[in-house]
Structure 1
Amino acid sequence: MLEEKLISKKKPAYPVSKRLDTYLEHYSRKSEIPVFYEDLLRFSGSVVVYDSHDEDTLWIRVFYSDSDRAEIDLSLKKVYSILHSDGSDSIIAYLNVDAVDYCTFGNSKPFRIKIRNILNDNFTYFYVKKTDASRVYGLELEHMLSPYNLNFLVYKDTLIEEHIAGIPGDIFIKEFLPKCTESEKSQLAKEFVKFNERCMIRLLGDMRSYNYVIVPTHDFDHVVYKIRAIDFDQQSYEGKLNVYRPQFFKENFKMVELVRNKLQRYSVDQYKVEERSIVAKRILSYGDRIAELVDICRADHVSIRENVALLKMQIYDLTLDLNFKKCKTMGEILTLALDFVKRNYENISMKQIIENKIKIQ
């Protein structure tokens, strides 16, 4: 059953702690950049950006005065070089800033920068946002616990994120899903189950259809679909467990219907186990790095006391692990959630080893 109004209030931005800042520097996530989020707010005019159907995209294209434009353009080209290349000025002469768009919808209010290579007209995007510790934790956890690597930079109060390519979930559900074959719909149902499980395990919230993308990949004679999160604002903040389960957002109703119509209960359980096992393997493979990150998060405050109290009890009801009742921060809940998945995987693996030895004997 889908719920509405799961997101209670607008989430505040949380500062990056000294320990998290040190972590970011150690793992090359921190880099000095020549432009800040606040600099881009100095635009002098704007126009609404419409999509191909003449509908408002909730983005506006901003313009700067002549005195600011040259400086901002050069700074954005340098940011692109730092994010995607070696940070040198050698490629700047071949780059052009085609557009600077600003989104007034949502928490992060990002700027989207379109950079084009003038030699071949290839272009890409990156985003400039205000730094938020929740978002940083979300990006790092996505990098380590999902199948996808992420490239981002943090400097003081500014966060630079690479663009994640794909078809926005809401557009895919409306325009592409009806045209999918029955086999493709079954595959999408499987991917949604795995995506749903992965979000819940690592406490990534608010995965409404416009906060993730569908990535189609052609493989021999068919298309393989994957689901990727693109918004990490609601990492470990809300108190309701269902916020971390995409299946409970009304915007995902069509995807939930796919699961109901295409997958048997046994298959759903199987895919959940598969995803937990994969996440557990990633936790083990990242070892010290993920242990360091969650240890920093344990002592950090990225939510309010009421949310922590509500979430720890709801997860206790699900797992019956008494340790959740003792949690005082979202970081402690996250640590236990990841440990719970890892322990279950290790226990099952050890059980299989023992059983195999008995069979051999």
Structure 2
Amino acid sequence: MSSPKKLMSKKKPTFPVNEMLDGYLKRYKRNIKIPIFYDDLLRFQGSVAVFDKNDEDTLWVRTYYSEWDRKEIDKSLKKIYTMLHSDGSNETIPFLNIDAIDYCTFGNSKPFRIKVRNILNDNFIYFYVKKADASRIYGLELEHILSPHNMNFLVHKETLIEEHIAGIPGDDFIRDFLPKCTESEKSQIAKEFVKFKERCLIRLLGDMRSYNYVITPTHDFDQIVYKFRAIDFDQQSFEGNLKVYNLQFMKENFKMIEMVGRKLQNSSINQYKVEERSFMAKRMITSPKRTSRLIKCMKKDTISFPENIELLKKHLIQYVGDVKFKDCKNMGEILETILDFVKRNYLNISNKELF
């Protein structure tokens, strides 16, 4: 297996939200004025390391602020919670408490994780405050449009608010839960991994190492159904190496790939790939305007480097055998070409197979 360090290029920069994307976000009620910004949370006076239940460093730190700052920050974060999860009114604010503001020292986005607790019943929920990045926003919107999952997020100026995606981190699941699964469950997990892998590849979501997705178990009659969900969208349509978009080339996923090889025949793998492409095509067909508006924004935006675009075009031509990618000028046009293939194949306009 190839190492991600060899597959990945230099560190991805933060791409600003341009006027066209801002207009798209306003159209779909993603852009709402919020009372606090990412930079405001950077004013913490100190922090302490956060350890997990096994006393291992999580790479998150718990921040603390001056008394005056904390009072204003708490009030603003409670308001954001009501905007993200409710109607934005102040009625529930007296029943909310900000239990923790954690800052991540690992990764590109350097997010803040906010823990909000309902003081009436002690239920709590998380959300994240991040620096707005255009490529990440495209990733969130594409996930909303093309996957089975709805994405809840808000953007205002240079700040991005994201809902927490619940689930077992992939690396934890592979290490602690997968060995205890029955053979039947492993077959079902292998199927879902193939479909998740196909979805990421088709929509060009890169760097899906095991800690960048979660697995959610759901009890259904006499079985447990496992689903995969991406939780990190920083590498949407940025890298030039096609392998970065293919989960099988990430060493952290090796045990999953090995299990797929043991549990599924090639005919079944191809069947599940077709099922996932068909699902994505149906999603695009049922929301054509939203899809086309988002792709139009991507085509007018800069979310990668010219050398990455040229390399990805080269890899796609080699992999797919279609020269249409040669005329693509940016990542938006590349993604549009791939998605057009998926739709056409579903509608039986073309029998040419992609990927």
TM-score interval for Structure 1 and Structure 2 normalised by the shorter chain: over 0.9
Q: CA–CA distance in 2 between the matches of 1:275 and 1:4?
A: 25
Consecutive unaligned residues in structure 2, runs of 5 or more = none
Cα offset for 1:349?
9.4
Q: CA–CA distance in 2 between the matches of 1:26 and 1:45?
A: 39
Cα offset for 1:4?
3.8
Q: Which amino acid aligns with 1:176?
A: F
**Number of equivalences:** 351
For 1:179-328, list aligned pairs within 5 A.
179-328=180-329
Deviations 1:255-280 (A, max 9, x none): 10110110111111111111111111
2:97 match: 96
Q: CA–CA distance in 2 between the matches of 1:46 and 1:340?
A: 50
For 1:144-155, list aligned pairs within 5 A.
144-155=145-156
Deviations 1:275-306 (A, max 9, x none): 11111111111111101100110111100000
Q: CA–CA distance in 1 between the matches of 2:179 and 2:126?
A: 29
Is contact 2:345–2:351 with CA below 8 Å preserved after alignment?
Answer: no
Q: CA–CA distance in 1 between the matches of 2:290 and 2:280?
A: 15
Q: CA–CA distance in 2 between the matches of 1:289 and 1:308?
A: 24
- Please state whether the residue corresponding to 2:348 is helix, strand or coil: helix
Cα offset for 1:347?
1.3
For 1:316-355, list aligned pairs within 5 A.
316-347=317-348
Cα offset for 1:201?
0.4
Q: Which is worse superposed, 126-135 or 335-344?
A: 335-344
1:359 match: none
Q: CA–CA distance in 1 between the matches of 2:267 and 2:298?
A: 35
Is contact 2:38–2:131 with CA below 8 Å preserved after alignment?
Answer: yes
Is contact 1:2–1:247 with CA below 8 Å preserved after alignment?
Answer: no
Aligned-residue identity in percent: 68
Q: CA–CA distance in 2 between the matches of 1:343 and 1:349?
A: 6
1:106 match: 107
Is contact 2:4–2:244 with CA below 8 Å preserved after alignment?
Answer: no
Cα offset for 1:316?
1.3
Q: Which is worse superposed, 317-326 or 55-64?
A: 317-326
Q: Which amino acid aligns with 1:295?
A: K
The answer to whether 1:81 aligns with 2:96 is no
TM-score (norm 2): 0.97
Is contact 1:2–1:253 with CA below 8 Å preserved after alignment?
Answer: no
Cα 1:3–1:340 shift into 2, 3 Å: farther
Is contact 2:153–2:160 with CA below 8 Å preserved after alignment?
Answer: yes
Q: CA–CA distance in 2 between the matches of 1:269 and 1:326?
A: 29
Is contact 1:103–1:111 with CA below 8 Å preserved after alignment?
Answer: yes
Is contact 1:13–1:132 with CA below 8 Å preserved after alignment?
Answer: yes
Q: Which amino acid aligns with 2:91?
A: S
Is contact 2:204–2:335 with CA below 8 Å preserved after alignment?
Answer: yes
Q: CA–CA distance in 2 between the matches of 1:321 and 1:18?
A: 33
2:121 match: 120
Is contact 2:139–2:236 with CA below 8 Å preserved after alignment?
Answer: yes
Q: CA–CA distance in 2 between the matches of 1:17 and 1:286?
A: 23
- Please state whether the residue corresponding to 1:347 is helix, strand or coil: coil
